[in-house]
Amino acid sequence: MFDTLSDRLSAVFTSLRAKGRLTDADIDKSTREIRVALLEADVALPVVKAFVQSVKHRARGAEVHQALNPAQQVVKIVNEELIGILGGETRRLQYAKNPPTVILLAGLQGAGKTTLAGKLALWLRKQGHAPLLVAADLQRPNAVQQLQVVGGRAEVEVFAPEPGSGVGDPVDVARRSIDFAQRQQHDIVIVDTAGRLGIDADMMAQAAAIRDAVNPDEILFVVDAMIGQDAVTTAQAFKDGVGFSGVVLTKLDGDARGGAALSVRHVTGEPIMFASSGEKLDDFDVFHPDRMASRILGMGDMLTLIEQAEQVFDAEQQQRMSEKMLGEGDFTLDDFLEQMVAVKKMGPISNVLGMLPGMNQMKGQLDNLDDKHFDRVAAVIRSMTPAERNDPKIINGSRRLRIANGSGTTVTDVNQLVERFFEARKMMRQMTSQMGFGGMRRGGS
């Protein structure tokens, strides 16, 4: 669904990857590109504007995390803003204190209401509920029958006008279904209403009358994500005409541009609660804004790394390290080990390289640092006395032999490590002064 948008956004991030730091010009260029990408994906203009403004503001602000490179900083902000426009928290169904919980479905004809009724019923039944499906769409030929077929597949009971009883009154059917549900111990009632091909005053009035008759706990507005910009107009009309407490996006499996998904929440203020992504009854799930955002960004792994980097390199640790690297304290082998442990916590070294600012420059140092190697280095450092760790220069021939024996390594290993440490320290000092970490100290004091 979001392929083009994902591609466009990743191009934005890729172009930032080579940057050492994020300038205002970079931010302007990137946000312009993001704006175009969203508009092309059919996201409604007010949503695009709010989104871009917020990304820009945050990217310029001081909130950027020092452990992230520019591309990652922007990915992080875009991700969080996407989650925001998609609604932030996952919104769960609210059940009535006194069953049955009544769920009313509203939306245009063809939006996928009847299919959704079956999906929702199956999903609820699997969780141990006893839902009842109610056919209050008596307009469309075969609507009742279609609901019965869907109900059969979901193995849930369907409440519908008696065949041959003439055209029932949908409001009456809906009202009677609540009594029926109570008598038959159904704890959830899902009422399918009639839709029209376009927004229509009669349809709204009928849906509103059904609403008043059954006093629903949730009104779900069902909208086809493939209808593009129209989704916003339709949502607004249903919001005014019937009101709703949640949105269900259907046909997310389609290849349309998906702007509806990104606009509806912002425009109506109501949360997206479920997503439908196919014709089968189990092509259905609770809508999670964070998962959808990372799907759109197409970079689950990168987001995980960003999260880990933030956790591992907290601000305090960074400040301490940068001070040491600048020579205000001494960067010792203990610190070296601490950094390695921090880096290792983030996963295999190959994944981690390049995600830390300036780490690319250390690639040579870290390239052959596989896990076994890491354990050996750690063993060597741990076999040193505190004095040796603080000042490796004192490590002479006999100390080397003692350390090698103590750590089960060779004198060559010890030599290599000490050499590598000196090189790394030199490089870090260069890197630290280049990257302007000095600013952090001012901020921190």
Task: Using CB under 6 A, list all residues that contact ligand GDP.
Answer: 107, 109-115, 195, 250-251, 253, 276-279, 283
* 116 labeled binding residue: no
User: Is 273 strand, coil or helix?
Assistant: strand
Please state the closest distance from residue 147 (CB atom) to ligand GDP, in A: 8
CB of 303 to ligand GDP, least distance (A): 26
Is 252 one of the annotated binding-site residues?
yes
137 vs 323 by CB, closer to ligand GDP: 137
CA distance 34 to 13: 10
- Closer residue to ligand GDP in complex, CB, 123/336: 123
Task: Give whichever of 58 and 251 is closer to ligand GDP, judged by the CB atom.
Answer: 251
Sequence-ordered list of residues with C-beta below 8 angstroms from that of 163, at least 6 positions apart, any chain: none
* Cα→Cα distances 321→21, 244, 316, Å: 20, 53, 9
Q: How far apart are CA 432 and CA 358, in angstroms?
A: 8
**Is 251 labeled as ligand-binding?**
yes
- 338, 365, 427 from 350: Cα distances, Å: 19, 12, 20
332 is in an annotated binding site: no
Provide the minimum distance between the beta carbon of 183 and ligand GDP in the complex, in angstroms, as a whole number. 27
Question: Closer CB to ligand GDP, residue 74 or residue 281?
Answer: 281
253 is in an annotated binding site: yes
Q: How far apart are CA 215 and CA 209, in angstroms?
A: 10
113 marked among binding-site residues: yes
247 has which bridge partners? Answer: 221, 272
Q: How far is the CB of 342 from ligand GDP (least distance, A)?
A: 44
Smallest gap from residue 255 Cβ to ligand GDP (A): 10
The residue among 185 and 233 lying less far from ligand GDP, judged by its C-beta, is 233
Bridge partners (DSSP) listed for residue 301: none
- Ligand-binding site membership of 315 (annotated): no
Tokens of 336: 């070296």
CB of 241 to ligand GDP, least distance (A): 16
Q: Which residues of 83-109 are buried (b: 16+ CB within 10 A; e: fewer)?
A: bbbbbeeebebeebeebbbbbbbbbbb
DSSP 320-360: HHHHHHTTSS---HHHHHHHHHHHHHTS-HHHHTTSSTTGG
Residue 146 CB, shortest distance to ligand GDP, in Å, is 6
- The answer on whether 345 is annotated among ligand-binding residues is no
Is residue 239 annotated as involved in ligand binding? no
Query: Is 193 flagged in the annotation as binding?
Result: yes
By beta-carbon proximity to ligand GDP, the closer residue of 191 and 343 is 191
Find out whether the peptide bond into 100 is cis, omega within 30 degrees of 0.
Answer: yes
The whole-angstrom separation of Cα 101 and Cα 230 is 31
For residues 116 and 189, which CB has a smaller minimum distance to ligand GDP in the complex? 116
Shortest reach from residue 50's CB to ligand GDP, in Å: 28
Question: What is the Cα–Cα distance from 182 to 187, expressed in whole angstroms?
Answer: 8
**Residue-wise DSSP of 50-118:** HHHHHHHHHHHSTT--TTS-HHHHHHHHHHHHHHHHTTSSPPPPPPPSSSPEEEEEE--TTSSHHHHHH
Measured from the CB atom, the residue of 193 and 322 that comes closer to ligand GDP is 193
Binding residues for GTP: 107-114, 192-196, 250-253
Q: Residue positions in the annotated binding site?
A: 107-114, 192-196, 250-253
